[in-house]
Amino acid sequence: MLSLPLLWSDAISWTSGHLVVPALALLHIGEAAGDPREIAEALLIAALQLFIIAGIFRPLESLLPAERWEDRRLTTVDRHYTLLMLLGLFPLFSFLVLMPFAHLLGGGPASAEPSGLRHWFPWFEQHPVAMFLVYYVVYDCFYYWMHRAQHAIPWWWALHSMHHSQRQMSCWSNDRGSYLDGVLQSFLLAGVGLVLGVEPSEFALLGLVSELVQNFSHANVRLRLGRLGWIGERLLVGPRFHRLHHMLRDPQRPTLHNCNFGQVLSVWDCLFGTALYGAPLRPTGVSDPVVDADNGRGLVAMQWHTLKRFWGAFRRPAGWRLGDVSFGPGYAPLHDDAAGASTPAAGRGESARAN
């Protein structure tokens, strides 16, 4: 009887030989893209991720919904984002952009000598799993602080706000986001990986596995990881924990939504004082009508209007200070103290900005 590792290796070989190699030859980018087997493995992981989202997480949303919706119309565009990202943009970007970027900086397969953790601590050379776990902890901690910056810096919030505009947050919502923001995040996170000596192909694997966890944390389910004991939501980000991060701003407690920034490990929120447990779930989305308008747009229009918000904030350095913002005429960033915390936002019945 064939073992699972052997079946997985055979699947990689078939995908590499029948799909990846012919595609790279057609595009004349074989050497630049790297090992075809690594590309094939990334594609298979993406396909597996889609199977888990559609076959496990989506049925859970019907069985144990955190919110009940009359229809799921608003989730359709998020599903399109996920399919496009996992089956196209992410693999292409990882192997056609990040791999050459790594080579340019002296990393990746072109380097004969070990670097990063393998160079500083040769013990890791013989313990790749331990090295990967250490890298993941550093990666996740960096993501936590980057995520906080996305909410605090006006021009970065202008990009990130599209992700938070969804009123019907579901297992498809993780990949809903600005592609410019995604490129910026990828280079920052890949830079951390290069410093630690992680290969770009390992970075792609890490990103895909991390996304699977995030697909679950965005799911519209009422599961509590706290039932697992201490290792539950005090260590890992679960659906309820992350749903509080996406909640609409409460006018009575205007800073409550600034919580639960962790990607996969909630321990950072506990350590740095941003964890919120036990609060009643609120509707998700944003109160700023300029950002909330994303819910009436398609994928391309959402990208375009997000870029307009970004440019409106980026070209106004006077607005570059930490804090919650809305967007006024010409997409000018309006800080809460300027916009007025009690001013109702059109269409949502909330104050100037939510999460």
Q: Tell me how crowded residue 118 is: count the other CB atoms within 10 A of its CB.
A: 18
Write phi, then psi, for 284 (nearest 5 degrees). Answer: -95, 160
Residues paired with 65 in a beta bridge: 221
Give the pLDDT confidence score for residue 301 in this predicted structure: 96
Residues 204, 189 contacting (CB under 8 angstroms): no
Query: Which range, 215-219, 234-238, 314-318, is most confident?
Result: 215-219
Q: Is 302 exposed, middle or buried (0-12, 13-18, 19+ CB in 10 A)?
A: buried
| pLDDT range class, residue 343, cuts 50, 70, 90 | very low
Give the pLDDT confidence score for residue 223 in this predicted structure: 77
Q: Over pLDDT 90: what percentage of the chain?
A: 41
Average of per-residue pLDDT across 240-248: 93
How many Å apart are CA 161 and CA 258, to the nearest integer? 14
Give the pLDDT confidence score for residue 96 in this predicted structure: 56
Give the pLDDT confidence score for residue 127 in this predicted structure: 67
Note every long-range contact of 253-259, with CB atoms under 8 Å and residues 24 or more positions apart, other chains counting.
Answer: 254/324, 254/336, 254/341, 254/351, 257/354, 257/355, 258/151, 258/324, 258/355
Average of per-residue pLDDT across 337-355: 40
Write phi, then psi, for 12 (nearest 5 degrees). Answer: -65, -45
pLDDT digits (tens, 9 = 90+) for 160-219: 999 999 999 999 999 999 999 988 987 888 777 777 776 655 666 676 678 888 999 999
pLDDT digits (tens, 9 = 90+) for 252-304: 888 888 999 999 999 999 999 999 988 888 899 999 999 999 999 999 999 99
Least confident of 57-71, 117-131, 176-190, 332-346: 332-346
Q: Please determine, for residue 94, whether its predicted confidence score (pLDDT) is greater than 70.
A: no
Residues 336, 246 contacting (CB under 8 angstroms): no
Query: Which range, 16-20, 96-100, 173-177, is most confident?
Result: 173-177
Residues 345, 287 contacting (CB under 8 angstroms): yes
Q: Please determine, for residue 352, whether its predicted confidence score (pLDDT) is greater than 50.
A: no
Summary mean pLDDT of the chain? 81
Give the pLDDT confidence score for residue 91 in this predicted structure: 57
Domain spans of the chain, in order of start: 35-286
The tokens of 110 are what?
């072109």
| pLDDT range class, residue 149, cuts 50, 70, 90 | very high
Give the pLDDT confidence score for residue 112 in this predicted structure: 54
pLDDT digits (tens, 9 = 90+) for 80-93: 999 888 776 665 55
Give the pLDDT confidence score for residue 193 in this predicted structure: 74
How many Å apart are CA 258 and CA 276, to the nearest integer? 9
Q: Over pLDDT 70: what percentage of the chain?
A: 75
Give the pLDDT confidence score for residue 242 in this predicted structure: 94
Q: Please determine, for residue 152, whether its predicted confidence score (pLDDT) is greater than 80.
A: yes
How many Å apart are CA 48 and CA 42, to the nearest integer? 10
Residues paired with 326 in a beta bridge: 334
Residues paired with 325 in a beta bridge: 335
| pLDDT range class, residue 62, cuts 50, 70, 90 | very high
How many Å apart are CA 295 and CA 302, to the nearest integer? 9
pTM of the model: 0.82
Residues 260, 242 contacting (CB under 8 angstroms): yes
